[in-house]
Amino acid sequence: MSDAPKPEIFKGLAGVPVDYTAISKVNAETNSLLYRGYPVQQLAASATFEEVAYLLWHGELPDERQLAEFEQFERANRHLDPVVKHVVDALPTNAHPMDVVRTAVSVMGARDGLTADDSPEAELDKSKRLFAAIPAVVAYDQRRRRGLELVEPRDDLGYSANFLFMAFDEVPELPVVDAFDVSMILYAEHSFNASTFTARVVTSTLSDLHSAVVAAIGALKGPLHGGANEAVMHTFDEIGEAERASAWLDEALAAKRKVMGFGHRVYKNGDSRVPTMKAALDSLVEHYDRPDLLALYEALANEFTERKGIHPNLDYPSGPAYHLMGWDTEQFTPLFVASRVTGWTAHIMEQRASNALIRPLSVYDGVDQRDVPQREPVE
Ligand code: ACO
């Protein structure tokens, strides 16, 4: 091994800025998150997810006419493509739903007439069609696991109401739609997180938009990233009731287990999105009359934060919120996909507009150069 001093490396690219972005600003010091300059809490309070998606792609909120046009487009593209359905039906019902949605997006890419066209107009069109089509995959996948038939979309409902309608075959009540819409807005975008960075790396090779989204789905699946919202619910199932939270934590910390739904690479004093999602969870707890779930939520959060100084992230309140709405735990991360596809595609377009191949360096720390041993010829 060489004795030369090793250059400093930044494991996990922690703290390393790698490019500019005009899409969102995460500020850990002020504990704030801006989408195109707007605080995400204000957007969650007064905009729909459709408006936020438009904002992320176009840089401005839509006016009345632009919103009407976009809504019309979204409603016209909600149906599950029969070929995608055919492929989904061919997958085992015990396949992880993230594998299903990843496969479905891959099929959509292979069937998309615009795959090779990376003009800004074509990229926007593909982004909007993915936004409209992914809910049908997620909703249908949950239904087929339960042995239920596909529910066709309704074009008299907004994005979130229709998403829930396709999953549960009933028009959801307003507090449920509102909480779901808030979760979609909060999950939509978060600068250079692992999955978004993955999408940008793939785009930087001049690959196509669907390939970048498929890769991003793969990155999101991991429990250190999007997969944490499912893991939170598994934790709740393990603990069972608020009174057991302390003892469970003793064991988890002794076993050096990570407590899912806590901690963040950027926010060290709390995740800016949590108070808004917690308020949405509170309204669901009231709607479904589940104070026991809230008690468990509070017991674990208070005890863990007090002991370790590590705060909940967005996955902590969103996991139990999706559970209360009736989603199966394994569908939580695909719901994150349905939302984050807006941020991913906005970043794909931004990357393409001022591209440089993303190709970092590595520092070799293997054995020094050596010669391949010469073998004696066999007699
Ligand atoms: N449970 C227990 N310990 C934790 C946790 C946690 N959730 N998070 C951080 N720590 C501890 C680590 O063990 C480590 O301790 P050590 O210094 O004694 O070894 C220290 O805090 C630093 O943690 P790292 O994992 O090195 O910090 P990093 O910035 O890389 O972590 C991460 C960020 C990966 C999100 C981490 O907090 C984690 O694993 N959390 C659980 C998974 C999770 O909830 N992910 C969702 C992320 S947000 C999102 O995708 C919406």
Confidence (pLDDT) at 1? 56
Q: Considering 190, 210, 225, 264, which one is annotated as catalytic?
A: 264
Beta carbons within 8 Å of 184's beta carbon, 6+ residues apart: 49, 52, 159, 160, 335, 338, 339
Residue 81 pLDDT > 80 = yes
Question: From the CB of 315, is ligand 1 less than 6 Å away?
Answer: yes
How far, in Å, from the CA of 304 to the mean position of ligand 1? 13
**3-class state of residue 35 by DSSP:** strand
- What average pLDDT does this structure show over 209-234? 95
C-alpha pair distances (Å), 307 with each of 253, 303, 304: 10, 6, 5
Question: From the CB of 310, is ligand 1 less than 6 Å away?
Answer: yes
Please tell me the number of Cα atoms within 13 Å of 360 on its side-chain side: 14
C-alpha pair distances (Å), 230 with each of 42, 106, 300, 323, 333: 27, 23, 16, 9, 7
Confidence (pLDDT) at 114? 78
Burial class (CB in 10 A: 0-12, 13-18, 19+), 357: exposed
Rounded to the nearest 5°, which phi and psi values hold at 156?
A: -100, 5
How far, in Å, from the CA of 309 to the mean position of ligand 1? 12
Residue 39 pLDDT > 60 = yes
Question: From the CB of 264, is ligand 1 less than 6 Å away?
Answer: yes
Q: Considering 178, 208, 271, 315, which one is annotated as catalytic?
A: 315
**3-class state of residue 374 by DSSP:** coil
Confidence band (pLDDT; 50, 70, 90) for 199? very high
Residue 6 pLDDT > 90 = no
Identify whether 264 is a catalytic site residue: yes
Ligand 1 atom 30, closest CA: 265
Helix (H) or strand (E) holding 142: helix 120-145
Confidence band (pLDDT; 50, 70, 90) for 313? very high
Domain boundaries along the sequence of the chain: 26-223+331-354, 228-324
Residue 115 pLDDT > 80 = no
Confidence (pLDDT) at 116? 84
Beta bridge partners of 27: 32
Which residue, among 187, 148, 180, has the nearest Cα to 163 in the 3D structure?
A: 180
How far, in Å, from the CA of 258 to the mean position of ligand 1? 7
Confidence band (pLDDT; 50, 70, 90) for 2? low
CATH for the 228-324 domain, from 3.80.10.10, 3.30.70.890, 1.10.230.10, 1.20.1250.20: 1.10.230.10
- pTM, entire model: 0.95
Of ligand 1's atoms, which has the minimum distance to the CA of residue 265? 29
**Contact present, 287 and 338 (Cβ < 8 Å):** no
Identify whether 141 is a catalytic site residue: no
How far, in Å, from the CA of 224 to the mean position of ligand 1? 8
Question: From the CB of 350, is ligand 1 less than 6 Å away?
Answer: no
Tens digits of per-residue pLDDT, 234-254?
A: 999 999 999 999 999 999 999
Ligand 1 atom 31, closest CA: 265
Q: Looking at this protein, which amino acid is placed at residue 86?
A: H
Averaged pLDDT of the chain:
96
Lowest mean pLDDT among 6-10, 48-52, 194-198, 295-299: 6-10
Beta bridge partners of 312: 262
Question: From the CB of 313, is ligand 1 less than 6 Å away?
Answer: yes
**3-class state of residue 72 by DSSP:** helix
C-alpha pair distances (Å), 29 with each of 25, 26, 37, 107, 270: 12, 9, 16, 42, 10
Class at the top of the CATH hierarchy for domain 26-223+331-354? mainly alpha
Question: From the CB of 228, is ligand 1 less than 6 Å away?
Answer: yes
Confidence (pLDDT) at 197? 98
- Residues 308, 310, 315, 317, Cα dihedral to 10°: 80
